[in-house]
Structure 1
Amino acid sequence: MATSDESEAIAQHSLRITDVVNEPLAFLTPIGGYENMPLVSLEEAVKPLVPFLPAVQSHAYVAKQRCEHPTDDLTSDESASIMLYTMSWDPEDKCLYAALNKTLRSSENRDRNLKPWHLYLRLFLNALYRLPPLRGVAYRGVKLNIKERYHKDKLIVWWAFSSTTTTFKVLESEQFLGPAGERTIFEIEYESGRDIRNHSFFPSEDELLLMAATQFKVISKLNQDNLCIIHLKETPPPFPLLHPVPLIVPPVHGPVLQEPIASASVSASPKLSKPEHRNRDLERNISEQKGKSCVDLCAKDLTSRDMEIVVYYLIYDNQFEFTGIKWLIFKTSSLFSGTEKQNTANDKGNHTYLPNQNKTLTTLNLSSNNIGDEGARHLADALTNNTTLTTLNLSSNNIGPKGARYLANALTHNTTLTTLNLWLNNIGPEGARHLADALTHNTTLTTLNLSSNNIGDEGARHLADALAHNTTLTTLNLSSNNIGHEGARHLADALTHNTTLTTLHLSWNRLGGEGARHLADALTHNTTLTTLHLWRNQIGDEGARYLCDALTHNTTLTTLNLTLTEIGDEGARHLADALTHNTTLHLSSNGIGDEGARHFADALAHNTTLHLSSNGIGHEGARHLADALTNNTTLTTLHLSWNNMGPKGARYLADALTHNTTLTALIFDANGIGDEGARHLADALTHNTVRHSSFQFQALTTLILDANGIGDEGARHLADALTHNTALTTLHLSSNGIGHEGARHLADALTHNTTLTTLHLSWNNIGPKGARYLADALTHNTTLTTLRLSSNGIGDEGARHLADALTNNTTLSTLDLSCNSIGDEEKSLLNNLKKRKKHVEINL
């Protein structure tokens, strides 16, 4: 039986998880105003809240007393600011988290109403941003049916801080949503969650916090009786909806700083002293991966001090201390190998000496930690003299402009590093300047990822100056950096002189038509760039015209990504004319319509891959494309997802497939084709197959039909085709309303089919009965390697059937059974099976 404290914890956690019903979902103005406030103590931060939260000071006092020795290198004020957020008191609307989230969700006078919150938000966000950002899957829900508010493929924003659980089973308990009645559950793929358990008033609760103003895309909706499961995927907006704060790293036990840390001089020589700081988990991780060329320390909650351990024991390959029998074995082997004397000398004191480098380490992944600028300094010191590391991933680590400066200094001396990933590190224009200076001297770096760093036009100018001189960089990623047409002009000027850059990412910026014009001018002169990503840039028809004019002269660019750039029919006409020179064009989500599709149909003769997803193309546009496909001999991949072609459009494309001899992949999900459209495509699959050994004929091998509402009947048609087709290897049928009958038809096909290797059936409703049919098929099938059955209501019975089938099946290597309400006993059964069959990956 739960204690009163445990019951209170569950009740409060439940309130925060289920308050999603209060989200307005509309696009409100961005949240800001606090970012330039000083960082103060929690006592000072809550004073402006007292007039409307009279009990907040007493609760802040309790939180502060409980956070005298915080974890994660936070200060007591930072930790207590998180704890105060998780506390609740009566009346509920007068407790901090309820009042704060209500204000964040308000559309009326929000900027004015947030002013008293600025000091608290400055402290609270500084604390959250210092915790490592996590990615994964989390859940929240409500005891209501709110599916009508969430539409497939739409972008929505949750403006409040969102409490979630990482355990689906939590929501099924009586204290949360329960197993019956109307319920809506959100399955959330998050990219920037924060684990706040170490700082919660209720640390036993499994609570992961999503940041305020997080944007999501609605991927799909699944209805099972009174339960609706909505799948959301975090999608970063082109501009921040929650203004970031300049990160301050105060002394853990010292006073709170009022201003960001000033620039410090870069260490001239590496710190090689044995670290006093200990992290047993990290040391064990390093010990287990010693000798490997690639070491992965992603998302290990590592801090700046942990980098001392990484440098000393991993990059410089020093030996760990051992105790007991391990020490005896180590010392004995050292005596025989002749290294005992050297190791003993290395162990004496904390003096500085020149150790051996790790000769095998070439790739180090430290992404999604929280090493900060100090951690970057430790790594930079090591890089200055390192001669083996070629790839370093420091994405999402809060290194800031100061950390970028340390790394830039190292790059001026390092002669082996070829790839550096600094995505999402808030380096700003100043950090970009430091790295640009380094690029004018460095002669080995070939790939640099600086996306999501808010470098702006000024940072783009610094990097452009460097590109005019650098002769080794081939790939530069500057996506999501708030670069406008001025920044595009600087980069365009650089491209007219640079002769080595082949790939440039400028997606999620604000280039506009004017920026496209500058880049187009550069393309008429540049002879080396082969790939240019410009998606999410509001380029429009006019910008498309500029780029097309350039493409008629440019003979090297082969891939141009213009997804979500607001190009319509007119722009499509211009781009179609340019396709004679461009081999891979990304034009998804541009509203080009049927008329635009007609223009592209005329130009297919010169292309191998065409992306036209989310463009409002109907069955008429499908007819134009199908006519072109009938005689086309070059196109191999066609993306048509999220249009509105319907069963009629499916029929046109199916007719074309019976004649086409080159298309190998058709991505056709979310087009509303229904069972009738599935029937047309199934008929085509019986003809579009390997008919003879002539190398001139290539049959369709990949067919993506997710979210098309084909149902059991459509599954039957496709299953019939699979018994005859000998070419298809990949078939996606997720989110199609397929029940156990549809699963039976597909299972029958699998007993005969000898070519299909991948089958996706997630987000359907096959249940335990359907799982049994598929399990029976797996006992006969010898080619299927991947089967995805996530969110199908399979339950314990279905899990047992599949476990029995896997006992004898020797080919299946991936089985996804997540979100299927499988009990602990059956999970244990499957996990034991996974241990016995080490080649099989089972996702529960």
Structure 2
Amino acid sequence: MATAENIFGDVEDDDDTNDSRYFDIPYADTEDKSYFSSILNSPLLIIEETIKPFEHLVDDVATKLYLIKQQLIVNDLYELTLDELSAIHLYIWERSPFTTSISYLINETIRRGFTDEFRTWTPYLNLLFTSLNKLLPIEPHSIVYSGVRSCNLSSQYKDNEIYTWWTFTTCLRSIDQIKLPHYLGKSGLRTLFKIECYSGKQVPFSDEDEVILMPGFHFQVIGQLPLLDDLTTIFIREIPPSSNEIFQPISSNMTQSESREQVLSSVKKIKSRKTFKHAANRIRKMSKAIHFCSNHILDLSGRKCSMDFFKFNLNERLTEDVTILNLSKTSLTKEKIKIIAQVLQANSTLIELNLSYNSIGNFGCSLLTHPLQKNRKLITLNLYNTKLSSDAAQDLSKILMFNHHLQSLHLGVNALSNLGMKYLLNDQIQLQYLNICCNRINQHGCIHLAQFLEHNRTLKQLDIGGNPIEDNGMKIIFNGLINNETLIDLRMWHCQITDFQIIYNLFETHSTLKQLDFEGNQITDVHTQLLISFLENNKTLERINLSHNRISDKVKETLQLTNNISLVI
């Protein structure tokens, strides 16, 4: 059996590799890829034979394999053979340029499907699958992070939809680590995946605390935190795979104590003092499974907590360095909301609070008003689907009038109504993101919204989708945008809009908008020439979503020929 001690030792790769496998865009699909069964049915070869078919693609792979094997030492910790451990380290080996790395070449081949090129990798993939399958999975309900630079993938992952990633996906356990400059960073357009999973494989002795998700990773999208500082966060949760053809993840039925016993049993076989240190660190990490989150996240979402349990976690954990508190779908009662209010009064670390999908109501909102007025740390507040009406809007207005640190406010799927818009929107608001979708707002509420947009100088993203504002409401809003120079992302999906002329007129006069979402409206072929002219002559808009309107296939084909803009239709 084998494991690695400082696997790369004195062997240095190029400095500019920059761990690019962490940012390989996942290949998501909803259909099974039965060709993966060919991998599992192929004979298991020694590693020297598995690399021969792609030596012409990775010219120094044989030399690299030799150097890796020279630095492997033997013990029983992971029950891996020398070849199996070598296969893993070949996969995580970064080359410059990254497009010549094995991880990149494999994922690109998977995207292209079952071709002769795919067969090139079958022997090696069989060995790699076998190797990774021997590793213990991470603890159930573990949170890992993956990300993609320079693009926003939010439109490709719809809430509650189920997808499968067919490529290998490399993740990190720490959100702080993935936001370091040489990983995802803190600036530029980025997409962050926050992943709850049970089948991820911890890479042995990875200094980066690296986790690999296998091809066939099946998941459901739980929700999204829209673009904030150019970062979109997509929350996903692993679910059992729908096909036996794909590589089966380890069952989540193994208890944490059973997992710990397996590791303890393995440790007894270790003779190397340094290797024992590695094993001890691994056991220490596994013991953290009793927590529900990382050091910076307290995630109780979906849990039915007793009052004592709730008090303990909020009073004890929030005195630490917790910055994100997720209480979504926790059936909050008035008493629990009072506890939250008390905690917020004294807390100085929390920057994100998620109370979505709870029956908070107007009374609960009033309880939170005073502490949130005084809070100077909170950046994101999520009150999505929390039974709020126009009365709650008055309390929210008080919060926004005094709390200028809050940047992102989610109020979608409530009943704020037109009157709520009158109460909520004032000149003191310094939000950057506001979601008021599905709040029974019509053209009369748009009057207050337009007045707000005319004077506001901070809001960058506005979601008013799912409200029956119709053409008149859109025209009112656009009149308020004529002198607005900060809003860049406007979402008006399913708003019963028919007249594209109004949109055209706005961009003819002035607009700094870069993204528009008009999905699910009633735009037809009547304005075909106007649409073509708009797409060809537009100078500012970067993306527009016109999907699920009443545009014919023929017109869609014509519109797709324009290259000046990213068009979803």
Alignment of 1:623-634 (within 5 A): 623-634=501-512
Q: CA deviation at 1:459?
A: 2.2
The separation in 1 between residues aligned to 2:288 and 2:284, in whole angstroms, is 17
Alignment of 1:549-588 (within 5 A): 549=426, 552-555=427-430, 557-579=431-453, 580-581=455-456, 582-588=459-465
User: Which residue matches 1:645?
Assistant: 523
Alignment of 1:433-452 (within 5 A): 433-438=311-316, 441-442=319-320, 444-452=321-329
Alignment of 1:124-139 (within 5 A): none
Tell whether the 8 Å contact from 2:437 to 2:463 is kept in structure 1 after alignment.
Answer: yes
Q: CA deviation at 1:458?
A: 2.9
Count of residue pairs the alignment pairs up = 343
User: Which residue matches 1:533?
Assistant: 410
- Inter-CA distance 311–553: structure 2 relative to 1 (3 Å threshold): farther
The letter for the 1-side match of 2:433 is T
The letter for the 2-side match of 1:703 is L
User: Which residue matches 1:592?
Assistant: 469
User: Which residue matches 1:466?
Assistant: 343
User: Which residue matches 2:389?
Assistant: 512
User: Which residue matches 2:496?
Assistant: 616
Q: 266, 277, 283: which is aligned to 1:320?
A: 266
User: Which residue matches 1:75?
Assistant: none
Alignment of 1:192-211 (within 5 A): none
Alignment of 1:88-167 (within 5 A): none
Alignment of 1:121-520 (within 5 A): 291=206, 293-295=209-211, 301-302=251-252, 306-310=255-259, 320=266, 330-331=270-271, 334=272, 337=273, 356-358=280-282, 379=288, 393=293, 417-427=295-305, 431-438=309-316, 441-442=319-320, 444-520=321-397
Tell whether the 8 Å contact from 2:465 to 2:494 is kept in structure 1 after alignment.
Answer: yes
The letter for the 1-side match of 2:347 is N
Query: Residue by residue, what CA displacement relative to the aligned partner does 1:585-624 show, whole Å, maximum 9, x if unpaired?
Result: 10010111111110122133432010000011112xx221
Tell whether the 8 Å contact from 1:651 to 1:680 is kept in structure 2 after alignment.
Answer: no
Pairing 1:547–2:424 present: yes
- Looking at both structures, which has the greater relative contact order when contacts are Cα pairs under 8 Å and sequence separation is at least 6? 2
- Inter-CA distance 288–641: structure 2 relative to 1 (3 Å threshold): same
Q: CA deviation at 1:290?
A: 5.6
The separation in 2 between residues aligned to 1:571 and 1:649, in whole angstroms, is 27
The separation in 2 between residues aligned to 1:674 and 1:429, in whole angstroms, is 56
The separation in 1 between residues aligned to 2:463 and 2:422, in whole angstroms, is 16
- Inter-CA distance 547–680: structure 2 relative to 1 (3 Å threshold): farther
Tell whether the 8 Å contact from 2:202 to 2:211 is kept in structure 1 after alignment.
Answer: no
Q: CA deviation at 1:547?
A: 1.4
Question: Tell me, what secondary structure is at the counterpart of 1:703?
Answer: strand
Q: CA deviation at 1:564?
A: 1.0
The separation in 1 between residues aligned to 2:460 and 2:275, in whole angstroms, is 58
Q: CA deviation at 1:293?
A: 1.1
- Inter-CA distance 601–360: structure 2 relative to 1 (3 Å threshold): farther
Tell whether the 8 Å contact from 2:545 to 2:568 is kept in structure 1 after alignment.
Answer: yes
The separation in 1 between residues aligned to 2:274 and 2:554, in whole angstroms, is 77
The separation in 1 between residues aligned to 2:356 and 2:394, in whole angstroms, is 18
**What is the TM-score with the length of structure 1 in the denominator?**
0.37
Q: CA deviation at 1:509?
A: 1.2
Tell whether the 8 Å contact from 1:432 to 1:463 is kept in structure 2 after alignment.
Answer: no
Pairing 1:666–2:544 present: yes
Q: CA deviation at 1:530?
A: 0.1
Tell whether the 8 Å contact from 2:413 to 2:438 is kept in structure 1 after alignment.
Answer: yes
Question: Tell me, what secondary structure is at the counterpart of 2:422?
Answer: helix
The letter for the 2-side match of 1:561 is N
**What is the TM-score with the length of structure 2 in the denominator?**
0.53
The separation in 2 between residues aligned to 1:613 and 1:287, in whole angstroms, is 41
Tell whether the 8 Å contact from 2:298 to 2:317 is kept in structure 1 after alignment.
Answer: no
Tell whether the 8 Å contact from 2:545 to 2:567 is kept in structure 1 after alignment.
Answer: yes
Query: Residue by residue, what CA displacement relative to the aligned partner does 1:224-248 show, whole Å, maximum 9, x if unpaired?
Result: xxxxxxxx98589xxxxxxxxxxxx
Question: Tell me, what secondary structure is at the counterpart of 1:468?
Answer: helix
Q: CA deviation at 1:439?
A: 5.1
The separation in 2 between residues aligned to 1:511 and 1:428, in whole angstroms, is 25
Q: CA deviation at 1:630?
A: 2.0
Gaps of 5+ in 2: 1-28, 35-157, 163-196, 214-237, 240-249
Q: CA deviation at 1:678?
A: 2.6
Pairing 1:655–2:529 present: no
The separation in 1 between residues aligned to 2:322 and 2:490, in whole angstroms, is 32
- Higher alpha-carbon Rg: 1
User: Which residue matches 1:704?
Assistant: 568
Query: Residue by residue, what CA displacement relative to the aligned partner does 1:277-309 show, whole Å, maximum 9, x if unpaired?
Result: xxxxx9997676564614479556545x71224
Q: CA deviation at 1:681?
A: 2.9
The separation in 2 between residues aligned to 1:562 and 1:429, in whole angstroms, is 32
Gaps of 5+ in 1: 1-135, 140-165, 168-231, 237-281, 344-354, 365-377, 384-391, 394-415, 690-698, 706-844
Identity among equivalent positions (%) equals 23
- Inter-CA distance 493–285: structure 2 relative to 1 (3 Å threshold): closer
The separation in 2 between residues aligned to 1:482 and 1:283, in whole angstroms, is 30
- Could you say what the CA RMSD is over the residues aligned between the two structures, in angstroms? 3.7
Q: CA deviation at 1:667?
A: 0.7
The separation in 1 between residues aligned to 2:372 and 2:512, in whole angstroms, is 31
Query: Residue by residue, what CA displacement relative to the aligned partner does 1:343-365 show, whole Å, maximum 9, x if unpaired?
Result: 9xxxxxxxxxxx9444996xx9x
Per mean C-alpha deviation after superposition, the further-off stretch among 291-300 and 581-590 is 291-300
Question: Tell me, what secondary structure is at the counterpart of 1:610?
Answer: strand
User: Which residue matches 1:20?
Assistant: none
- Inter-CA distance 284–571: structure 2 relative to 1 (3 Å threshold): closer
Q: CA deviation at 1:470?
A: 0.6
